[in-house]
Chains A and B, each alone.
Chain A
């Protein structure tokens, strides 16, 4: 018997499927030339976003990265608005101004996705400071990859968050590669979580292919943050099944390595666990899967039928303008 309720498990699986199918769908749309620019897929890493965000409340915050689709869906993002954004439509989350790397939905607490590696981490500290300042009890999760932990802003942010005991959980998705460079060439230590020692905060390694394990560890850190005990650093060991971007020739890793990691597919494993626990039946699981597929089809339909932004509006939204003012 698993500790989580049937509803919670269902919700987690729904989100994992949504992420997987969203990514597969956009990969196809990319090759149909309906999506431009680089696409960073989250396939293989679903357990991290879903496990971590399942430990949050709706009003909690998330700050994400260039590989942010999974975080958006896991936090409760709207597939239709996401798809429209990736297709550069006026009906998208950011009215087609942001695209794949810059999703945001302030209603669900997704504040921003940074296209600059580690650029979102200082902002997550600010969101956490804001919760502390307003006594709002909100917690922020800051997602970033292994590569980000070699940036200066990672260091500045963890240090400041620790000194001020801010309610933020730093979740590092270690997917073994910083674009093409393996962590063995960019990190002098086996566990990034050990860097937490330098900031006087807890650092934990978790199996990033296991959604329940991620949930457990992040939940503990979130509760701790909500209690005013300060930040934590969690390293989720994971793997991207695809390249860094769609079209990546992937010359830097072997097929054997990919095959090994695919054996640990986070969705298949979670499905198996749930089935074995008898909390959800095969039929229920299949209908979850089907529903997610249908949602994606609808999202694509909606996005394709949505208008592109009006070219005359190209200078709109550079500045906030008071009611009645000029742009």
Chain B
């Protein structure tokens, strides 16, 4: 199969969906002439023209609101917010308006809206361009939240997002754009709410998102040398969330580590642990853990920046610590 970058995968998805459906259009800061800060919308203006690909003023609330109004009246907008940090400026439109319109109109409103953005640290952009804010949106009923980790997933999920009749927040990671992966030439989509097992293993389950999938995969390679096999699950969409795949994995491995770049406090890890404890408590051999970002703003200096979010070494150490612990084993001893 051919290999393309994550950015190219999104670019292809954009073009294919815009060719398929002329109700689809894209607006955002620097998306048209410049082709997007990360080149995701390159070639769109040339192919689809000024009406369907539009540069906007730096006005995030108006950008999202324009998407909402257009979606309510029969179009299928893709609006881009250059950084997830900038969603803060458009929060009323996303949280109060887009997310709630269907519910508060008793199902009258239909809102096929994609809000595409990117987050994450690792580029020295400091505290205003590096956050991982997905938990905020997971918390809001009415939104769907997508966080892909590979070019294949990104393309298939993006096409599904455009075809979904609900507001979808599509979050890329800025370090993933150049990453290459296999993507078929043929048309395909990936349904929401279906996790992907990125690596099979028996000793521990790691749930990770976005860039952290790749860090988990590298850590798993290293751990295999120590004889530990790690199962890595990528939920791909946080809302809807595929609990079943995760439960099956935990029942097999007996251990659960959740890995994300966002701050630990109030992050998605806590919620996932709650779900697993409620339904899989008896299968757990060790207390589930969350390995996530420190509760600090992302610092600028490279020496500090990498301290802010989990690194490969942190993952390896946490997994080793967790696999040493065995509740089932200790229960056995107590009984005998």
Question: Which chain A residues have a beta carbon within 8 Å of chain B's beta carbons?
Answer: 61, 63, 92-98, 102, 104-106, 111-112, 114-116, 119-131, 133-134, 140, 152-153, 156-157, 159-160, 163-164, 316-320, 322
Contact = CB atoms under 8 A, between A and B. Distances in A.
A134, A156, A163, A317: residue with the most chain B Cβ atoms closer than 10 Å:
A156
A116 B74 contact: no
Given A94-B108, A133-B75, A156-B62, A318 B68 contact: no
Interface string B285-312: 0000000000000000000000000000
B5 interface: no
Contact of A122 (B54, B57, B62, B105): B62
B67 interface: yes
Given A122-B61, A133-B25, A140-B69, 19 more contacts: A61-B73, A92-B106, A94-B104, A97-B104, A98-B105, A102-B105, A111-B72, A114-B96, A115-B96, A116-B96, A119-B92, A122-B62, A122-B93, A124-B69, A129-B69, A156-B57, A160-B57, A320-B102, A320-B165
Nearest to B143: A319
13 contacts: A61-B73, A102-B105, A104-B105, A104-B108, A112-B72, A112-B97, A119-B97, A122-B69, A127-B69, A157-B62, A160-B62, A164-B54, A320-B165
A264 to B, nearest CB: 34
B106 A98 contact: yes
A7 to B, nearest CB: 29
Interface of B: 25, 51, 54, 56-57, 59-62, 64-75, 77, 89, 92-93, 96-97, 101-111, 141-142, 144, 165-166
Nearest to B165: A320
Contacts of B77: 126
Majority DSSP secondary structure for residues of A touching B: mixed
A9 B72 CA distance: 32
Contacts of B57: 156, 159-160, 163
A126 B109 CA distance: 14
A184 to B, nearest CB: 27
Nearest to A102: B104
A26 to B, nearest CB: 19
A96 B109 CA distance: 14
A156 B72 contact: no
